[in-house]
Structure 1
């Protein structure tokens, strides 16, 4: 079953709770979205609040994917670059597909919808994201058209003695 993607959905309690559940479940399943398992909803809530504040301030936009039951099944945040020399590209943060929906092409669909959304923002020419090395994520993003443009060795410490590269990826939209 395909997901339905919506840019800038109304932020209400069901959406906030759905995003919180999505982020927590993705993290607990080992997803590289800012936490290592196990994680609590309260730990994730602070990250979600930061995204919601950026949205309220007009610095970030939410792309949400909903399943056939209307539940949040995927999400990504498109964040405008505030550096005056870099406003021609945006960041894609916290890219997530719920574990129950993984393996069905929904990640590719989410990235395609994010690219379409970015193309609709005046002046945006590229999407930049970072991903945690050691999980093969850079190969997935490359298969979706992103190119590795940089790597910071051992920049992410997921546990003592377990440092991962921070991989920088870019998708030109032209």
Structure 2
């Protein structure tokens, strides 16, 4: 079902605090009109049939955004390096999409208020950037079911608020990673 007329009106709504449109079987790209609104709390578009790439103006248009959920769609392309502009983000969920490979953008390390980072099953490649260690408020990190390679960065051990860590089903090695540094505070740790 196409929702084009509805999506065009979203940008006209200037008093919105949040947009929750998850699980509505939306068939289109992510409506760019959302980024013309005054949303500050969150945008949740998870579990739809959205396709295309992530818009590159998410953070420049909505720099105070706290929640951004687009997991469980058919998004493709690469995850853009735009996150340095979203310094208020607390939860970022991009998992279960069909991204065309690509790395985890290193500017995710600038999201120092981030508590949830969900990139599970997103066809990501490359290494886990050491910048992840800058996310000192992070409580939940799920990078599982991707094509990540290389050594698990020791900087993950700096995440003392981390309660859930899932890195399973990747091609990672733990040579320099001291598991004991996180086992004191992580409740759930999935490596394989």
TM-score > 0.5 by shorter chain:
no
> RCO higher in 1 or 2 (8 Å CA, sep ≥ 6)?
1
Q: Which structure is larger by alpha-carbon Rg, 1 or 2? A: 2
Give 1 or 2: higher strand fraction. 1
TM-score when scaled to structure 1?
0.27
